[in-house]
Amino acid sequence: MGKVYEGIDGRLRTFIEAQPVYFVATAPSGDEGHVNLSPKGLSGTLAVLGEHRIVYLDYFGSGAETIAHLRQNGRIAVMFCAFTGPPKIVRLHGKGEAVLAGDPRFEELWAAFDGPERHAVRSIIDVEVTRVSDSCGYAVPLMDYAGDRDLLTRSHSRRDEQALAEYAVAKNLTSVDGLPALAG
């Protein structure tokens, strides 16, 4: 049976930090537009800053839906599933903000991460967690974690800062619904 928690306690923090993959969902306001659901991973790219705050690294990618939706309404949900061990799903709902690399807060938030490569980090997503809940996860399959893929960091390592800026202009200025992401 599911439970709602006051915040991210020590047991939940341990569970969250142990998951090699998690999922982020955002949506534009209103009845139109596309809901976005993205898998995230890479060791060391998510940090729990307190009972009501998490941050994760946002790398350049083929779209910028999360940034666009957060700019518009701030709503975000992050879900963690146990693929090994006892079944469990933890959901964090809250208000998020994309802190871009040029923002003075970026350096302060960067200190929360241990070891990830900084090249091609587009922003740090800062989430004020307003609801913490869990559910059984009985239908989540058991799966073995073989390790992080290195394709994202390898592909971006071939791009210098100028090439990343051009990539952002080509792929990340607006969402698929035309909402501003890195534009404006």
Residue 66 placed within a domain: yes
Residue 181: per-residue pLDDT:
95
Residue 59 placed within a domain: yes
Those residues whose C-beta lies under 8 Å from the C-beta of residue 98, and which sit 6 or more positions away, are: 58, 66, 67, 70, 71, 123, 124, 125, 126
What is each CA distance from 88 to 4, 12, 119, in whole angstroms?
13, 10, 33
Residue 102: per-residue pLDDT:
87
CATH number at residue 50: 2.30.110.10
Residue 55 placed within a domain: yes
Mean pLDDT by 10-residue block, N- to C-terminus, for the chain (184 residues)? 93 97 97 96 95 97 95 98 97 98 94 88 97 97 95 88 90 94 82
Residue 140 placed within a domain: yes
Residue 126 placed within a domain: yes
Residue 16 placed within a domain: yes
Domain containing 142: what range?
3-171
Residue 51 placed within a domain: yes
